[in-house]
Structures are given as structure tokens and as C-alpha cells.
Amino acid sequence: MNEASSKNLEIRFGGNLHEIDVDLLVESLVSYSCVTQEASAHLSPGLKVDIKIKAPKQGSFILLLSLIAEKGGSLFTRENAALAANIVGIVGGLYTLKKWIAKNGKPETVKPLSGNSIEISNSNGKISIGNEVYNIYQENPRVRESLRNTFAKLKEKGEITDFSIRDADSGEDLFRVEKGDFPALASENDEIEQRKQKMLKEKQELSVFKIVFRENYKWEFFYQGTKIYASLKDETFFGRIEKGEVAFRSGDRLMVDLEIEQTFNEAANTFVNSSYNILKVLEHIPRISPTQHSLGFES
């Protein structure tokens, strides 16, 4: 017995249209299909996704697509029932992330949020997206190429005023972009694979191993079972150290906001930690000294 779930969505080419160029239509749909298939493969390698087209409506050229996700098995589960909806949401997120990067540039800092999502930011702004959306975009060059190809022909068609993807079941707009943004979305300028990023983790516990009372020197800590070297960037806390207001001993703990600089490892196809910076010390937790008891020696 197979388990299948389906989702209806609309692809809309805005404008006063009753027909559309066949090359544009094919390119846009093939690109959307490729992004969808890559997203579904990331979620579940054994997943089969069929995308079917229903007749267009009058007015702006609107296609109604039916996405059917089917996975082999014998048990019907809530997770499998939500597969199609999950794929549609991730694909909408990929288009949204592509739009943000095209307008704002590459992410510089990644900050984990609750609910399996992250906040990416740079000097131009920030956006919250799902972890899986970010991972697929970063790790899959075929997805980035397909996202770009969606707009490669759109930018040449002056009669099309906008492009959008809409959840036809809920009525929610998953993605929308105006004509003026087509060239940036089709550009390869933001398609160069990112090699460095910063991960910001708040309220992290570090165990002090070795301290250096000089600026710009790295301290040694244990962080999640691994020895690391970190620079102390909190000038306020460093000032308290210089004034003698804070005393340390090995085994003390610090609660900090930690910035982790990461570099992309080609062989492993993932980002690895390369350096650490303590942006803010939230709390200093002194090591608890064991009570010294008399050994009871008699003179």
C-alpha cells in the first residue's frame, strides 16, 4: 500500500494576458519542478513527486498545479500526510530566500531560532527562514541554478508585471516578486558558493581552561566537550578584569553570546568551525571549591 498526499498551488504570471510564450512557460515550469524534486529528495530520498497541470484561468495567466507526493510503505502517518504541504512550503521558502539574497547580498551571520528556523543577516537586513530551506540553498547548486533560470526569460518579457506562487488550498501567497526584480533574480552575481559565514549562538556555556590577561590574545575553553580558543570581544567585561573586579580559576564557567566563524569544507560538503569570538559575557560562574576537612592527625 502506498501513502500519498497532495497539494494544489497556483503559478501566476501577472499582467493583461490571455496567452504566454511557450519557451517562457516551459522554462518556468521545468525550473519550478527541478527545485521541487530537489527539495523532496532532501526531505526523503525515496519520495516520488508528481506535478500535474490543470487548465489556466482567464485574466493574468494562472496555472493550477497539483503536487502529489507518494512514499512506499504500509502505515499511514501524520508525517507522510503532510509531505506535499512541507515540500510546497520549502520550495516557496527557497524562492523567498533567493529574492532576499538577490536584493541584500549574501548572508554574513546565521543565528539559530526556536522552531527549527534560523535568522540570516548582513549589513543590509535580515530574514527568518527554515533550517532546511537554508541548507538546501547552500548545499545544492542545481537548486540555485533552477531558481535563477525561473527568471532568466521573465526579465525579457515586458508584458509580464509580476510572478507569484500561491497555495490554492489555503489562499496563502508563498512567494511574489515584481517585474523590476526579475533581472536581479536571474543574475549569477549571488550564485557563487559561499565559503565563509558566522554562526551566532546565544547563552552558551564555556568552561575556563586557560586565561590570558592581555587584549587580542585567545583564551582556552572547553565547549561542548571540545577544547577551543576564543577571543574576548566584550570590552566591558575585559575592563572589569583589568580593574581586578573579576577573579578566575581553572574550571570557572562563563555564560556567553558566542560567534562561531565557519569555513566551507569542499571534501565534506559542509561548513566547519574555524574560529570563536565571545561577543558578550552574560554571567561568570565561579568554580565551587570542595570543603577542606581536617585529616585528624594527632601531634
pTM, to two decimals = 0.72
Q: Report d(CA 140, CA 39) in Å as an integer.
A: 9
Could you list the pLDDT tens digit for every one of the 299 residues in the chain?
A: 345 678 888 888 888 877 788 888 888 889 999 999 899 888 877 777 888 887 666 666 777 888 777 665 433 344 444 677 888 889 999 999 999 999 998 888 888 888 889 999 989 999 999 999 988 988 888 999 999 999 988 888 888 899 999 888 888 899 999 999 999 999 876 554 567 888 999 999 999 998 877 666 789 999 999 999 999 999 898 888 888 888 888 889 999 999 999 887 767 777 889 999 999 999 999 987 654 444 444 44
Phi-psi region of 282 (alpha: psi -120 to 50; beta: other; left: phi over 0): alpha
Is residue 129 within 8 A of residue 137, CB to CB? The reply is no
DSSP letter at 181?
G
Q: Measure CA 257 to chain center.
A: 20
pLDDT for the residue numbered 284: 93
Instruction: With beta carbons less than 8 A apart as the criterion, state whether 148 and 187 touch.
Output: yes
How high is the pLDDT of residue 74? Answer: 36
Q: Is 78 helix (H, G, I), strand (E, B) or coil?
A: helix
**Within 13 Å of residue 183, how many CA atoms lie on the same side as its CB?**
3
Confidence (pLDDT) at 67:
79
Sign of torsion over alpha carbons 15, 30, 50, 54 = positive
Please name the residue that has the C-alpha cell 566563524: 261
**What pLDDT is stored for residue 54 in this prediction?**
78
Residue 208 burial (CB count, 10 A): 20
Residue pair 81/42 in contact (Cβ under 8 Å)? The answer is no
Instruction: Tell me the pairing of strands 270-285 and 226-232.
Output: parallel
> Cβ neighbours of residue 53 under 8 Å, at least 6 residues apart?
29, 63, 64, 65
Cell numbers 521545468 label which residue?
A: 30
| DSSP annotation string for 17-33 | -S---HHHHHHHHHHHH
